[in-house]
Chains A and B, each alone.
Chain A
């Protein structure tokens, strides 16, 4: 039986991530065991970007696919106001969610479910009861109908039954009462498999979001922490330098263009192994930035120059490669990193360039979007994606990191 490696990895990530959430939810690292729990429901109608002719109508029904609707149930928690995180991040809510998606075209796309971690917090208070919030979701979606040359030939956008699910929304949060909020706004969603299978055009939507959230427990502290009373006792923050050492791995697919022949999608998945060392200056409790030394071994790098087939035109079944020299598969780059720091999760953005490299595949700039999920004060889970030219996929990054000189939670 063929094992979907991405599915296995994302499941393992989810397990670790949920374990991390449960550790925090148990309050083992805080001064108080009292948590403020949250349950919510969101409805998200969305417009499907016609990023591929499949959505424009080149599908089995010859009708454009424009609409997407999803319904989400979420559980989350806030840290109690008398905890370190409660004082530092009084509006941050994190948890897990489950969503059901339909594109009204289940015959070729399916009706995928998404399971994800989310985090939401306040960007700005507009009035005592109205605020502008953001929310991100990151997880996996299941139940896609993937491309199949015989049974689903038009769907050249989804290559996996399971895909990553990424969502970012900006919401107006209206506090109906002390425990109930109505939230509405706009958000963008991206589904793709992170270049672990082809095709990987992905699905992108832009839509509205409306939902209700209800908090349970710690009501008085919620009110206190919401800032409406104007009294929040935050500990002073002294800037410092922390050092993240990250090891990650992943797999990726690779397509090559043999000279004088048709493009070939190379069978199997290539291994990725990376190491990042990132000293970062913690400017505030919300932000840190620094420079990262990024070393990465990519088993597929520059294989286009090492096609072994000299007998006939290679295809997906026959194509073989000589293994490129290590120096063409290994690259070391420097990147500038900026990181939004929140409880449990940190969102890391980076732009860099390989400086020790050889070959066209590695001699390039790259961009990084990554999510760090704290497991302990020093240990975190690292899930990210690397692009080049700001749009073309390089590879997933799934790994763990250790933060030296980590501070906080004291």
Chain B
């Protein structure tokens, strides 16, 4: 019995030494053995990185494009949070602007979810998500391939605010003719429609998506969608099948006039005149709203502005006498 007691004493001593020796405070678990890379695309919308230990937090998102905002909320998306997350904190980090929608979700300590929305840039979106704790950091590289562009579902015109006119003149050409020393009239020929074109321009209001041509191209791509624009036929505005690209920049369209039309103007002798050639312009302005949608994300976008159209429909040659005062 005494031997047993002595052995028990010794056993307790040994176990006490063992337990007292553990210096677990200086050890931390490795939460990531390597620094993984994540590739997101239209087909890989969500990637989950498995974390080996739960002693990490989302510290930040780095190397973002200019203008990409980073924000964070709780898992319900209701309450805002600040980065870096504190110990064990869960939440969602959003990286967003008009052309990018990407988020990182920490729902628990063992996984990190990368969820893509849309990348309307024409290049892959590259970023680095920093994770770690107060002792170490690891970087998860994220590459987000471009996703499909928006398409224009429809354009609506506000006919009630359609305004038009046909009294404007646009100069085409100007020629000085001097027959002061001539003994007979001089005839001058013009091509009044040679360079005439219908100018159509979508003026766009700046919105959340931006507003310039580059921004619009990010949304729609190089092959911009065609939309139907109004024409005035017999004095009545309406949609008669003319389609143009939905672009920010002014577009020159064929005005339907004979560019080879040659007209003459005779100036009598002993005259000194300017012959000014004008096109008569039929102009209208109409507010519009373009409705866009993205078939990948289902997101919808609305662009509003004013459509302007200037269409030449005839010509006018005006002689203007040049006096000594004009010289």
Contacts and interface: CB of A to CB of B under 8 A. Distances in A.
A52 interface: no
Interface string A367-405: 000000001100101000000000000000011100000
Contacts of A321: 26-28
A284 interface: no
A269 B19 CA distance: 11
Interface stretch (B10-18, B71-79, B144-152, B317-325): B10-18
A272 interface: yes
A271 B6 CA distance: 24
Given A16-B9, A320-B135, A376-B3, A308 B28 contact: yes
A267 B23 CA distance: 9
Contact of B30 (A251, A268, A322): A322
Interface in A245-279: 247-251, 266-273
B6 A273 contact: no
A251 B20 contact: yes
B135 A249 contact: no
Nearest to B22: A271
A269 B7 CA distance: 27
B14 A399 contact: yes
A319 interface: yes
B20 A5 contact: yes
Contact of A268 (B17, B23, B132): B23
B135 A310 contact: yes
Q: How large is the interface on A (under 10, 10 to 19, 20 to 34, 35 or more residues)?
A: 35 or more
Contacts of B3: 376, 379
A244 interface: no
A16 B137 CA distance: 49
Contacts, number: 97
A320 B20 contact: no
B51 to A, nearest CB: 14
A319 B26 contact: yes
A299 B21 CA distance: 8
Interface string B104-139: 000000000000000000000000000010111110
A309 interface: yes
A376 B7 CA distance: 10
A406 interface: no
A400 B13 contact: yes
A9 B132 contact: no
A247 B14 contact: yes
Q: Which of B22, B26, B27 has the most CB of A within 10 A?
A: B26
B10 A400 contact: yes
A273 B18 contact: yes
B20 A271 contact: yes
Contacts of A318: 134-135
A43 B60 CA distance: 69
Contacts of B138: 310
A323 interface: yes
B28 A272 contact: no
Interface string B34-64: 0000000000000000000000000000000
Interface string A90-101: 000000000000
A375 B137 contact: no
B137 A320 contact: no
A270 B24 CA distance: 8
Contacts of A16: 9-10, 13
Given A299-B21, A319-B26, A321-B27, A309 B136 contact: yes
B25 interface: yes
A268 B135 contact: no
Q: Which of B7, B14, B17, B18 has the most CB of A within 10 A?
A: B17
A269 B135 contact: no
Interface string A5-45: 10011001000100000000000000000000000000000
A135 B35 CA distance: 61
B132 A311 contact: yes
A269 B21 contact: yes
B29 interface: yes
Contacts of A270: 21, 23
Contact of A320 (B6, B9, B13, B28): B28
A24 B7 CA distance: 18
A320 B26 contact: yes
Contacts of B30: 308, 322
A374 to B, nearest CB: 12
A308 B135 contact: yes
A321 B21 CA distance: 16
B21 A271 contact: yes
B21 A272 contact: yes
A345 B270 CA distance: 145
Given A250-B21, A272-B21, A308-B136, A267 B9 contact: no
A300 interface: yes
Contacts of A247: 14
Contacts of B25: 267-268
A372 to B, nearest CB: 13
Q: Which 7 A-B pairs have the closest CB atoms?
A: A271-B21, A249-B17, A400-B10, A268-B23, A310-B136, A320-B135, A251-B21
11 contacts: A248-B14, A267-B26, A268-B26, A273-B17, A308-B136, A310-B136, A318-B134, A321-B26, A321-B28, A323-B29, A379-B3
Interface of A: 5, 8-9, 12, 16, 247-251, 266-273, 299-300, 308-311, 314, 318-323, 375-376, 379, 381, 398-400
Given A308-B30, A320-B28, 4 more contacts: A269-B20, A314-B135, A323-B27, A323-B29
